[in-house]
Structure 1
Amino acid sequence: MDTTLALRVVQALLVAAAATALAIRYARRRRLLDQPGQRRSHSVPTARGGGIAIVAAVLGCAGPLLDIAPLPGLLLATSLILVAAIGWWDDHAALSARARIAVQIPAAVLLAAVLYGLVPSSPDLPASIALLGLIVLSTVWSINLHNFMDGINGLLTLQSAYVFGMAALLGRVGLEHGLNDVPAILAAACLGFLPFNFPRARIFLGDVGSGALGLLIAAVLWWAALREPRWIAAGLLLVSAFAIDATATLLQRFWRGRRWYSAHREHLYQWLVRSGGSHARVVSYYMAWNLLLAAPLALLVATSRSVGVAAATVVLTYAAGIALWCRARRAVLAGVRRHA
Structure 2
Amino acid sequence: MNKIEIGVYIVIAIALIGSAVLTNLVRRLAIIDIPNERSSHSQPTPRGGGIGLVVMTMIGLLCSQILWSLTTWRGLMMYLGAALLIAAISWLDDLKSLSTKIRFIAHFVAAGLVVAEWGYWDKLDLPLIGSIALGQVGLLMTLFWIVGLTNAYNFMDGIDGIAGGQAFVAGIGWAAVGWIINDKFIFAIGGLLAASSLGFLFYNWSPAKIFMGDVGSAFLGFTFAVIPVMAMRSAHNYQNIMLWVGILLIWPFIVDTGFTLLRRLSKGENIFRPHRSHFYQRMVIAGYSHQLVSLLYIGLAILGSVLSLLLTRRS
Category of TM-score, reference length = shorter chain? 0.7 to 0.9
Give the alignment partner of residue 138 of structure 2, picking from 117, 131, 135.
Answer: 131
Matched, 1:299 2:306: no
> Contact between 2:121 and 2:139, CA under 8 Å: does it hold in 1?
no
> Contact between 1:82 and 1:107, CA under 8 Å: does it hold in 2?
yes
How many angstroms apart in 2 are the aligned matches of 1:195 and 1:262?
31
> Contact between 2:176 and 2:187, CA under 8 Å: does it hold in 1?
no
Q: 1:313 maps to what in 2?
A: none
Give the alignment partner of residue 83 of structure 2, picking from 80, 85, 101.
Answer: 80
Give the alignment partner of residue 181 of structure 1, picking from 185, 188, 203.
Answer: 188
Question: Structure 1: which amino acid aligns with 2:214?
Answer: D
How many angstroms apart in 1 are the aligned matches of 2:77 and 2:298?
34
How many angstroms apart in 2 are the aligned matches of 1:296 and 1:151?
25
How many angstroms apart in 1 are the aligned matches of 2:155 and 2:145?
15
Matched, 1:260 2:271: yes
Question: Structure 1: which amino acid aligns with 2:39?
Answer: R
Give the alignment partner of residue 213 of structure 1, picking from 208, 211, 220.
Answer: 220
Residues 128 and 54 of structure 1: CA distance in aligned 2, closer, same or farther (over 3 Å):
farther
Q: Shift in Å at residue 118 of structure 1?
A: 11
Q: 1:239 maps to what in 2?
A: 250
Residues 84 and 162 of structure 1: CA distance in aligned 2, closer, same or farther (over 3 Å):
same
How many angstroms apart in 2 are the aligned matches of 1:133 and 1:214?
18
Q: 1:123 maps to what in 2?
A: none
How many angstroms apart in 2 are the aligned matches of 1:157 and 1:239?
12
Question: Structure 2: which amino acid aligns with 1:237?
Answer: L
How many angstroms apart in 2 are the aligned matches of 1:172 and 1:71?
23
Q: Shift in Å at residue 303 of structure 1?
A: 2.2
> Contact between 2:49 and 2:211, CA under 8 Å: does it hold in 1?
yes
Q: 2:13 maps to what in 1?
A: 10
How many angstroms apart in 2 are the aligned matches of 1:140 and 1:166?
22
How many angstroms apart in 2 are the aligned matches of 1:44 and 1:95?
24
Q: Shift in Å at residue 253 of structure 1?
A: 0.2
> Contact between 2:173 and 2:309, CA under 8 Å: does it hold in 1?
no
Q: Shift in Å at residue 221 of structure 1?
A: 2.1
> Contact between 2:171 and 2:193, CA under 8 Å: does it hold in 1?
yes
Query: What SS class does the counterpart of residue 94 from structure 1 fall into?
Result: coil
Question: Structure 1: which amino acid aligns with 2:34?
Answer: Q
Q: Is the deviation greater in 2-11 or in 96-105? A: 2-11
Residues 176 and 106 of structure 1: CA distance in aligned 2, closer, same or farther (over 3 Å):
same
Q: 2:25 maps to what in 1?
A: 22
Q: Is the deviation greater in 164-173 or in 203-212? A: 164-173
Q: 2:154 maps to what in 1?
A: 147
Query: What SS class does the counterpart of residue 136 from structure 2 fall into?
Result: helix
> Contact between 1:177 and 1:223, CA under 8 Å: does it hold in 2?
no
> Contact between 1:23 and 1:49, CA under 8 Å: does it hold in 2?
yes
Q: Is the deviation greater in 51-60 or in 165-174? A: 165-174
How many angstroms apart in 2 are the aligned matches of 1:115 and 1:42?
40
How many angstroms apart in 2 are the aligned matches of 1:214 and 1:283?
17
How many angstroms apart in 2 are the aligned matches of 1:74 and 1:151?
31
> Contact between 2:120 and 2:229, CA under 8 Å: does it hold in 1?
no
Query: What SS class does the counterpart of residue 270 from structure 2 fall into?
Result: coil
How many angstroms apart in 1 are the aligned matches of 2:208 and 2:300?
23
Rg larger for = 1
Percent identical = 32
> Contact between 2:265 and 2:271, CA under 8 Å: does it hold in 1?
yes
Question: Structure 2: which amino acid aligns with 1:107?
Answer: A
How many angstroms apart in 1 are the aligned matches of 2:8 and 2:33?
36
Question: Structure 2: which amino acid aligns with 1:41?
Answer: S
Q: 1:195 maps to what in 2?
A: 202
Q: 2:285 maps to what in 1?
A: 274
Query: What SS class does the counterpart of residue 181 from structure 1 fall into?
Result: helix
> Contact between 2:161 and 2:206, CA under 8 Å: does it hold in 1?
yes
Question: 1:38-117, aligned counterparts within 5 Å?
Answer: 38-66=37-65, 67-116=70-119
Q: Mind listing any 5+ residue stretches in structure 1 that lack a counterpart?
A: 120-125, 306-340
Q: 1:169 maps to what in 2?
A: 176
Q: Is the deviation greater in 58-67 or in 88-97? A: 58-67
Aligned pair count reads 294
Give the superposed CA RMSD.
2.1
How many angstroms apart in 2 are the aligned matches of 1:256 and 1:74?
43
How many angstroms apart in 2 are the aligned matches of 1:175 and 1:244?
30
Residues 139 and 149 of structure 1: CA distance in aligned 2, closer, same or farther (over 3 Å):
same
Question: Structure 2: which amino acid aligns with 1:106?
Answer: V
Q: 1:222 maps to what in 2?
A: 229
Q: Shift in Å at residue 24 of structure 1?
A: 1.1
Q: 1:248 maps to what in 2?
A: 259
Q: 1:314 maps to what in 2?
A: none
Deviations 1:295-338 (A, max 9, x none): 33222212223xxxxxxxxxxxxxxxxxxxxxxxxxxxxxxxxx
Q: Is the deviation greater in 242-251 or in 74-83? A: 74-83
How many angstroms apart in 2 are the aligned matches of 1:127 and 1:244?
24
Q: Shift in Å at residue 97 of structure 1?
A: 1.2
Q: Shift in Å at residue 34 of structure 1?
A: 1.1
Residues 177 and 140 of structure 1: CA distance in aligned 2, closer, same or farther (over 3 Å):
farther
